[in-house]
Amino acid sequence: MSLLDLIAAADERGLAAAAVACLERCLPQPVPGTGPDPLRPLWAACAEPRLWPARLAETRTALDALAHPGEPAARVRDLLAAAPDERTGEELRGWADACSVLALEVHLGHDMTAPATPDPVARCRAGDPSGAGPLLAGEAARQTAILEMLAALDEDAPATAGLRQIRDVSTEGGRILRAAAARRGRVRS
């Protein structure tokens, strides 16, 4: 299934977790000595919908307090500001979709190779990563894997089931992006 299909079919927990994972990968490495990951409160709200409004407000405040320079952090802030206050409905699906696009665009921006096809983000979302650079194709594959992992969970499974594995996949993806960004920065200077 394509990313578009997986997002269209995902349940509310899947949408919330996939969206938070995308945003997490877009943030730069935290400055040493700062507090915990600013998106951490939202992970708990992925398992417990009633926590979503309070944890979303907490996350917005935590991110605003951090010194994350650059466009990706500003776009994460904008998406958090636009996040639905309730973890339900089509607003959540639209928000998760926007988070997916942001993560793909951020990865495209750090790819060392120029895409060989027009609109590589749309092509990756439709399930065709051919012509996309390795970072963009890898992010599309990561998002697909996360949504497939969430979809495969038994509906009787505990609400926290799978979230640890998704965080691990997301954390590794963040490391890959930060390494690529650092490499690109060294090449430019």
Residue 74, CA atoms < 13 Å, CB-side half-sphere:
3
Q: What is the Cα–Cα distance from 68 to 6, expressed in whole angstroms?
A: 31
Residue 153 has a pLDDT of: 81
Strands (E), 3-124: none
| Burial zone of 45 (CB within 10 Å; 0-12 exposed, 13-18 middle, 19+ buried) | buried
> Long-range contacts for 31-39 (Cβ within 8 Å, ≥24 apart)?
31/66, 31/67, 34/66, 35/62, 35/66, 38/62, 38/63, 38/65, 38/66, 39/63
* 3-state per-residue secondary structure call for 56-72: HHHHHHHHHHCCCCCHH
Measured at the CA of 134, the angle between CA 110 and CA 104, to 5 degrees, comes to 55
- Residue boundaries of the structural domains of the chain: 3-188
pLDDT of the residue at 67: 64
- Whole-number Å distance between alpha carbons of 165 and 155: 17
pLDDT of residue 140: 96
For residue 53, how far is the Cα from the chain centroid? 19
Q: Which residues contact 149 (CB under 8 A, 6 or more apart)?
A: 162, 165, 166, 169
0.85 exceeded by the pTM?
A: yes
One digit per residue, the tens of pLDDT, for the chain of length 189 reads: 999 999 999 999 999 999 999 999 988 766 555 556 788 889 889 888 999 999 999 999 888 877 666 778 889 999 999 999 999 889 999 999 999 999 999 999 888 777 777 899 999 999 999 889 899 999 999 999 999 999 988 777 777 778 888 988 988 988 888 888 888 777 765
SS3 category, 179? helix
- Cα separation, 71 vs 64, in Å, equals 14
pLDDT of residue 188: 64
